């Protein structure tokens, strides 16, 4: 039957009885498809029925469906005409793993960073009101993990006063973030769950309840007579709270959603689902199956066989080793414990470990508070997610010159997650902040040394390192620091000095070999090794800067500024990521497309300075 559904219009032609087998087919399709491409599995298995129900009840795309994060939208993609493209998911030139407006009219809002859905939906709901489109709904679907971010409450606070809008928030509560959920909100949702049948009786209206639930509700209502049932926090914020209901039961979902269409003002539906639903292995270990690579569905995910350690592991090991030496160290993650390599630290140092939930802004200011009291916080955060906490970084940390270490994982291109998750901007956005020290690791061992350097530096310092494994460098156990603001010449050559930052050292060395150019590993973006630049300027005719970050405002720009400041005029070629968003694909492929592999760097240098020019200049030395 799934083969026949190419749009929600076709879905809406089906009878209610046909939806159950459709859900089974859809779930099987998701498992098969993700096992072949890799992608976010457990969250998508949890939203199969919810997706069917939402498209069945609402008139999408006229009604606007906004998915929070968007990592749970594979069933939505499949039902909205992209079934045949699922094999291209998250690959070069394929469809995105997240909703994207340019991909489909059913993707009403681009997402991937969490907790934006209610704000966007409110914007759409108020736009509908302003335009007099009074029949149109805006429906935000948000997970319990995403609910923890401050932006959600900013949006609810704003929405809760408009009693004439068609806004529905569906809380998809699977009691999981990527890791087990944290915080008081999670406890609160669990408390709501424990009174769930009473909540149903109170809010949904008996006409749409299945008979057994109705009877049970009546009994509980009887018991509850005389009791004052407090309003939920969502009601206090101006929403009509409904639920919790079983998010895998189409017979609960569909009548409830249909019923809600008659209600005006901000509505809040609490739906309970299971992460990984319908695939036993994912149900048992939703963390492992949150975002797997390719796997055999019959066997499940096998342990990785690669002997190379990832930068994330280097960080995790360093964190434990440094914590063993210094009991002032505090490790902080905004909901990315596993992804940031903090599982062992959490186990070994539970009293010094804080998962603050999806709350990047809070994570940074919380670290600032700890630093004020003489503790030494290490904020482990993906480069892309630190964007969320930019003002906190400037105003709360750097301005007060507080001693906070930032371990910036996923710096540079990240691959399958694409443009939303690419850590392309941190060099530009960090280097302009006074007091900051900014380093880029060129291999795993240097990453460890830089983390120690940042940690020992008595102010804000960041180390950027990429997703995945590095060059295979041996990581020394000793915790050594690097001289602040000092780079090193790694290859002596002629005429051209290539200044490599971070991951670009390895391809730059190869380009250096091909061109007989000097190659420096600059290590520090800030403070920049200006002395080294001026020394190299004496014996070289041109500079080439290479970085895995946005060229605009990046490390190359820092070099140009430093040379100009010193009155040193030399031709400079800046290589880095271009002024456009770079889509999903294999990282090596993408780097090559950006001209940031060894061949690309060599070719760009040849093109800029010309074969003859290179030879000419080389002969002068």
Ligand X SMILES: CC(=O)[C@@H](O)[C@H](O)COP(=O)(O)O
Ligand Y SMILES: Cc1ncc(C[n+]2csc(CCOP(=O)(O)OP(=O)(O)O)c2C)c(N)n1
Rounded CA-CA distance 537/162 in Å is 64
Q: Which does 23 bind (CB under 5 to 8 A by kind): ligand Y, ligand X, Mg ion, none?
A: none
Rounded CA-CA distance 404/545 in Å is 29
CB 521 within 8 A of CB 500: yes
Give the interface segment with ligand X, choosing from 20-28, 83-91, 190-198, 410-418 (CB under 6 A).
Answer: 410-418
Q: How far is the CB of 466 from ligand Y (least distance, A)?
A: 17
Query: In the range 174-193, which residues lie near Mg ion by CB under 5 A?
Result: 174, 176
- Residue 469 in marked binding region: no
Rounded CA-CA distance 95/88 in Å is 6
Pick from 173, 346, 403, 417 the residue near ligand X by CB under 6 A. 417
Provide the binding-site residues for ligand Y, judged by CB under 6 A.
Answer: 43, 46, 69, 71-72, 112-114, 143-146, 174, 176-178, 275, 335, 358, 360, 385, 388
- Residue 125 in marked binding region: no
CB atoms within 10 A of CB 261: 15
Q: How far is the CB of 113 from ligand X (least distance, A)?
A: 7
Residue nearest to ligand X (CB): 339
Query: In the range 186-215, which residues lie near ligand X by CB under 6 A?
Result: none
The reply to whether 42 sits near Mg ion by the rule CB under 5 A is: no
The reply to whether 282 sits near ligand X by the rule CB under 6 A is: no
The DSSP secondary structure of 429-454, one letter per residue, reads: HHHTSTT-EEEE-SSHHHHHHHHHHH
Q: Which is nearer to ligand X, 376 or 421 (CB)?
A: 421
Q: Which is nearer to Mg ion, 335 or 528 (CB)?
A: 335
**Which of 23, 69, 54, 11 is closest to 277 using CA atoms?**
23
The DSSP secondary structure of 139-170, one letter per residue, reads: EEEEETTGGGSHHHHHHHHHHTT-TTS-EEEE
Give the interface segment with Mg ion, choosing from 143-151, 204-212, 576-584, 606-614 (CB under 5 A).
Answer: 143-151
Q: How far is the CB of 484 from ligand Y (least distance, A)?
A: 31
Provide the 3-class DSSP secondary structure of residue 576: strand
The reply to whether 77 sits near ligand X by the rule CB under 6 A is: no
Q: How far is the CB of 131 from ligand X (least distance, A)?
A: 32
Q: Which is nearer to ligand Y, 123 or 150 (CB)?
A: 150
Rounded CA-CA distance 410/167 in Å is 35
Q: How far is the CB of 143 from Mg ion (least distance, A)?
A: 4
The reply to whether 274 sits near ligand X by the rule CB under 6 A is: no
Pick from 49, 63, 107, 144 the residue near Mg ion by CB under 5 A. 144
Rounded CA-CA distance 100/94 in Å is 12
Give the interface segment with ligand X, choosing from 28-36, 183-191, 409-417, 491-499 (CB under 6 A).
Answer: 409-417
Q: Which is nearer to ligand Y, 247 or 549 (CB)?
A: 247
Q: How far is the CB of 55 from ligand Y (least distance, A)?
A: 18
- Residue 199 in marked binding region: no
The reply to whether 467 sits near ligand X by the rule CB under 6 A is: yes
- Residue 174 in marked binding region: yes
Q: Read off the tokens for 278.
A: 């319908």
**Which of 611, 596, 143 is closest to 412 using CA atoms?**
596
- Residue 317 in marked binding region: no
Residue that is written with structure tokens 């639920």 in the block: 243
The reply to whether 291 sits near ligand X by the rule CB under 6 A is: yes
- Residues 284, 21, 12: CA angle, nearest 5 degrees: 120
From residue 495, how far is each of 492, 543, 567, 613, 617 by CA, in Å?
Answer: 10, 9, 20, 10, 6
- Residue 113 in marked binding region: yes
Rounded CA-CA distance 301/292 in Å is 8
CB atoms within 10 A of CB 470: 22
Q: How far is the CB of 74 from ligand Y (least distance, A)?
A: 12
The 3-state secondary structure of 32-77 reads: HHHHHHCCCCHHHHHCHHHHHHHHHHCCCCCCEEEECCCCCCHHHH
Dihedral sign from CA coordinates of 220, 186, 23, 140: positive
The reply to whether 145 sits near Mg ion by the rule CB under 5 A is: yes
Rounded CA-CA distance 302/187 in Å is 33
Supply the residues annotated as catalytic: 275, 360, 388
Q: Which does 410 bind (CB under 5 to 8 A by kind): ligand X, ligand Y, Mg ion, none?
A: ligand X
Q: Which does 600 bind (CB under 5 to 8 A by kind): ligand Y, ligand X, Mg ion, none?
A: none
Q: How far is the CB of 141 from ligand Y (least distance, A)?
A: 10
CB 124 within 8 A of CB 64: yes
- Residue 114 in marked binding region: yes
For residue 355, give the H/E element and its range.
strand 353-355
- Residue 270 in marked binding region: no
The reply to whether 143 sits near ligand X by the rule CB under 6 A is: no
Hey, which bits of 444-539 come out as E strands? 461-464, 488-491, 495-500, 518-521, 524-526
Contacting positions for Mg ion (CB under 5 A): 143-145, 174, 176
Detail the residues annotated as belonging to a binding site for thiamine diphosphate. Answer: 71, 112-114, 145-146, 174, 279, 360
Detail the residues annotated as belonging to a binding site. Answer: 71, 112-114, 144-146, 174, 279, 360
Contacting positions for ligand X (CB under 6 A): 69, 71, 178, 291, 339, 410, 414, 417, 467
């Amino acid at each position: 039957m799934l083969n026949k559904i190419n749009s929600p219009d076709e879905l809406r032609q089906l009878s209610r009885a046909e939806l159950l087998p459709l859900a089974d087919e859809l779930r099987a399709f998701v498992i098969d498809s993700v096992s072949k491409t890799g992608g976010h599995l457990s969250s998508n298995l949890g939203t199969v029925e919810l997706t069917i129900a939402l498209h069945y009840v609402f008139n999408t795309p006229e009604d606007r469906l906004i998915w929070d994060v968007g990592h749970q939208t594979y069933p939505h993609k499949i039902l909205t005409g992209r079934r045949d493209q699922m094999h291209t998911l998250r690959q070069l030139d394929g469809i995105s793993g997240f909703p994207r407006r340019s991909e489909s009219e059913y993707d009403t809002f681009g997402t991937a960073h969490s907790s934006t859905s209610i704000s966007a939906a409110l914007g759409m709901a108020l736009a509908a009101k302003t335009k007099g489109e009074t029949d149109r709904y805006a429906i935000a679907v948000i997970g319990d993990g995403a609910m923890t971010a401050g932006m959600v409450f900013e949006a609810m606070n704003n929405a809760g006063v408009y009693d004439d809008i068609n806004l529905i928030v569906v809380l998809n509560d699977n009691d999981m973030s990527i890791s087990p959920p944290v915080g008081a909100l999670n406890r609160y949702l669990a408390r709501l769950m424990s009174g769930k049948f009473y909540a149903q009786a109170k809010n949904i209206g008996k006409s749409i309840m299945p008979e057994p639930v109705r009877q049970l509700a009546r009994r509980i209502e009887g018991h509850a007579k005389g009791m004052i049932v407090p309003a939920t926090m969502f009601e206090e914020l101006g929403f009509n709270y409904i639920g919790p209901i079983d998010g895998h039961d189409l017979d609960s979902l569909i009548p409830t959603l249909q019923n809600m269409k008659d209600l005006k003002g901000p509505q809040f539906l609490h739906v309970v689902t299971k992460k990984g639903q319908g695939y036993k292995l994912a149900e048992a270990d939703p963390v492992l199956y949150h975002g797997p690579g390719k796997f055999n569905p019959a066997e499940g995910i096998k342990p990785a066989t690669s002997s190379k350690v990832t930068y994330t592991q280097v960080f995790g090991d360093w964190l434990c080793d440094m914590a063993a030496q210094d009991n002032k160290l505090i490790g902080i993650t905004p909901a990315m414990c596993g992804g940031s390599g903090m599982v062992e630290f959490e186990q070994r140092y539970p009293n010094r470990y804080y998962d603050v939930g999806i709350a990047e802004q809070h994570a940074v200011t919380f670290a600032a508070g700890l630093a004020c009291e003489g503790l030494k916080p290490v904020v482990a955060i993906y480069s892309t997610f630190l964007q969320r906490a930019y003002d906190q970084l400037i105003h709360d940390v750097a301005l007060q010159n507080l001693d906070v270490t930032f371990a910036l994982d996923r710096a540079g291109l990240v691959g399958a997650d694409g443009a939303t998750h690419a850590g392309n901007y941190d060099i530009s956005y960090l280097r302009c902040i006074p007091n900051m020290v900014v380093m880029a690791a060129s291999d795993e061992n240097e990453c460890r040394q830089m983390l120690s350097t940042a940690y020992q530096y008595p102010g804000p310092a960041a180390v950027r390192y990429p997703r995945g494994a590095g060059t295979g460098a041996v990581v020394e156990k000793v915790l050594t620091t690097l001289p602040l603001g000092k780079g090193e010449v790694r290859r002596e050559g002629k005429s051209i000095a290539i200044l490599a930052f971070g991951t670009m050292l390895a391809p730059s060395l190869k380009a250096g070999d091909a061109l007989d150019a000097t190659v420096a590993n600059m290590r520090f973006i800030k403070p920049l090794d200006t002395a080294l630049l001026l020394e190299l300027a004496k014996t070289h005719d041109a500079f080439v800067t290479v970085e895995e970050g946005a060229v605009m405002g990046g490390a190359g720009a820092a070099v140009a500024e430093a040379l100009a400041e010193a009155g040193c005029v030399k031709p400079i070629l800046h290589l880095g990521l271009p002024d456009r968003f770079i889509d999903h694909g294999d990282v090596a492929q993408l780097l090559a497309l950006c001209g940031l592999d060894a061949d690309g760097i060599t070719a760009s240098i040849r093109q800029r300075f010309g074969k003859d020019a290179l030879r000419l200049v080389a002969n002068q030395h």
